[in-house]
Structure 1
Amino acid sequence: MTNSQQPTPPPADKAYLARSVQRKLRDVSVSVDFERLSYIDAPRPEQRHWVTNRAVDELVEQLRHLDVTAPGYVGGASRREIDPGQWSGSTATYVDGELLIEDQQVMQDWEIPLMRRMAEVVAAGHGDVLEIGFGLGLSAGFIEDCGVNSHTIVELNAEVADVARAWAATRPESDIVIAEGSWQEQTHRLGLFDGVFWDAFPTSESEFDQYVLRDSTVAEAFFPFAAAHLRPGGVFTYYTNERDSLSRRHQRNLLRYFSSFGVELVSGLRPPDDCEYWWADSMCVVRAVK
C-alpha cells in the first residue's frame, strides 16, 4: 500500500484530538477551546482527552454545587478599601465581640467554634506552638486550655499586642511570648515548633489582592514559613476561607511543603448578616503535617 493509500484515522481518534471540550446543561454551558493543539501534550491523545474532560467535568460539578449552596449564604456587606496607612499603629477597636482595625472587620465572635477546633488541632501534641495573629484572643485562649509547653504569638498591631500582653499576664503559669511585628519580620527570628497556627488579616489592598483574590487560600504565602518552623511530624493549621472542600490548586500547594494533610468541617457557623469576610455556615479546617 502506498502512502497515498494509507487509511485515515477512525472517528474516535479524531475526537481525542478535539480543539475544544464542551458541556451544555439546562442552566449553564461550558466550553474550553485550545488555541494550540499541543496544549496538554500527553504521550497519547487518549490521555489528553481523559484529563481535559475530567477537568471540565470538575468545573461543571463545582458550578452545580455553587448553584445549590449559594442561596444559603448570609447577605453580607461590602468591604471597604484598606487605607494605605501604617497598620501596626492603627487604632484597634473592640466592641460587641468584634475587632475593627482601619474600618476592617478583623475578627468576630461567630468564629468561636472554628477557633476552638483549630486550637485543638494545633495543640494536640501539647508541645511548642507558634500563633500568627492574636485578634480577639479566641484561639489563644483555646490553645492554652489544651495545655501546651510554650506559646509564641506574633501580632503586628501595637494596640492588639498590648491586649495580648495583658491577656498573657493573667496566665503567669504559662510560657507565653508576645512578638510584636509582622510575620514576615518575625518568623526568621523564631525557632522550631510542634504546631503552627495562622490567622492573619491582610493589612493593605495589595495584600488583599494577592492573598485573598489571587492565591489558592489566604494563608498560601505563609506555607513555606510554616514548614520551615515545624519540627518533623509537626502540625500546621490556618484560616482557610474554604467552605466544604479544598480546590486541587490548594491541595497541590499544601503538598509542596507538607508530607500529608487532612480536612474536616466545622459546621453550624453563624456569621451575621453584615459580615464582610465570610457568608457560609461551615469552613474547612486543615491539619497539615511536616
Structure 2
Amino acid sequence: MDVGDQLCEAAKNGDAGKVKALIESGADVSHFDGEGLTPLMHAAKHGHADVVKKLLEAGAPWNALSPSNLSAGDFAMDAGHQEAFDILLNAGIQAELVLGTIARKDNKIGDCNGDYLEDRVSFSEDKLMDAESKAVMMAWEKPLMEAHAKAVCSGGGHILNIGFGMGLVDTAIQQYAPASHTIVEAHPEVYERMIRTGWAEKDNVKIIFGRWQDVLPQLELYDGIFFDTYGEYYEDLREFHQYLPALLKPEGIYSFFNGLCGGNGLGEDDWQC
C-alpha cells in the first residue's frame, strides 16, 4: 500500500496520530485512492472531526469531488456527522471569502461578475452554460426552484426575483399568479432570450435589465424576494442583505440560492427567512 493509500486508511479509521505522522513524512493530502476518495472524504464520511481538522490544516482540498460528484462536506452531511460538517463548512466559507477578496483586488472596477456578464452563454434543453462550459443553471435544480417559489409566493402580492437564468424559478412563480412579478437580469444574452420567449409580454411581469447593484433605484417594496446570481461572492450576497429592509415588507419572505461552488453541494448556500 503506497503512502497516499495509507493516509486514506488512517483517515478512515480515525487514527489522528498516524495521519499526523504520514502528513509530516510528506504524504499527499489530496491523494485519491482506489475508491476515488481523498483522506478528507474518508474522515468526513466516518465523522472523525479531529482528523478532518488536521487534514484541512495540512492543505487538503475541501472542495474536491468524488466520482459521484460528492465533496467531503456532502459525505459528512449525508452521514449526519455535524461536527465534521461544520468544520468543512467553515473552511469552505473562509476559502470563498479569501478568493472573493483576491478577485476584487485583481479587478480594478470592483465588478466580480464582470467576466461572466461579458461571456457568451449557451442554452440547451437542460442547462445554461458559460463560456468555459461551467453550469450557470441546470434542469435538476427545478424542484429546488419550485420550493423557493412556493416560499416567496406564500404571502401573495408583489414578487421580486434577481437572476433569471433558465427561468426555472420565474416559471414556478408564475404558477402562483402574483399581483406583480419583477425580474432583474444582467446578462445581455439571457435578457434577449427572455424577450424572445415572451416574458416581457406577460401582464404581471416587469423585466429590469442590469446588475442589481445598478438598478436598486428602480426597485420597490415586495412581499417576496428571491435572489440567485452567478459569478458573485459572499461579499455581494452580504451587500444585498443590507438592502433587504428597504425592499422587503415587514411580513415578507426572502429566499436565496447562491451556487458559489458549482457541482458541490457544500458550496451551494440555500436559505430562507
Q: Does 1:237 align with 2:255?
A: yes
**Residue 287 of structure 1, CA deviation:** 2.3
Listed as ranges, the gaps of 5+ residues in structure 1 are: 1-24, 30-58, 243-275
Provide the C-alpha distance between the structure 2 equivalents of 1:156 and 1:60, rounded to a whole number of angstroms. 41
Among residues 115, 130, 146, which one is paired with 2:176 in the alignment?
Answer: 146
- In structure 2, the partner of 1:278 is 263
**Residue 114 of structure 1, CA deviation:** 0.8
CA, structure 1 residues 60+230, in 2 after alignment: closer, same or farther (shift >3 Å)?
Answer: same
- In structure 2, the partner of 1:115 is 145
Q: Is the 8 A contact 2:200 2:206 kept in 1?
A: no
Q: Percent identity?
A: 26
Alignment of 1:131-280 (within 5 A): 131-169=161-199, 172=202, 174-202=203-231, 207=232, 211=233, 219-240=237-258, 277-280=262-265
**Residue 98 of structure 1, CA deviation:** 1.0
Provide the C-alpha distance between the structure 2 equivalents of 1:169 and 1:72, rounded to a whole number of angstroms. 39
Q: CA RMSD in A?
A: 4.1
Aligned residue pairs: how many? Answer: 186
Q: State the one-letter code of the partner of 1:152.
A: T
Greater percentage in helix: 2
Greater percentage in strand: 1
CA, structure 1 residues 61+96, in 2 after alignment: closer, same or farther (shift >3 Å)?
Answer: farther
Among residues 69, 85, 89, which one is paired with 1:74 in the alignment?
Answer: 69
Q: TM-score, normalised by structure 2?
A: 0.56
Q: Which has the higher contact order (CA 8 A, sep 6+)?
A: 1
Q: Which has the larger radius of gyration?
A: 1
Q: Is the 8 A contact 1:219 1:239 kept in 2?
A: no
Q: Is the 8 A contact 2:159 2:180 kept in 1?
A: yes
Q: TM-score, normalised by structure 1?
A: 0.53
Q: Does 1:100 align with 2:129?
A: yes
Provide the C-alpha distance between the structure 1 equivalents of 2:227 and 2:136, rounded to a whole number of angstroms. 14
Q: State the one-letter code of the partner of 1:192.
A: L
What per-residue deviation string (whole Å, max 9, x for no partner) do you get for residues 114-147 of structure 1? 1110111111111111101000000000000122
Q: Is the 8 A contact 1:88 1:181 kept in 2?
A: no
Provide the C-alpha distance between the structure 2 equivalents of 1:279 and 1:228, rounded to a whole number of angstroms. 33
Provide the C-alpha distance between the structure 1 equivalents of 2:268 and 2:130, rounded to a whole number of angstroms. 23
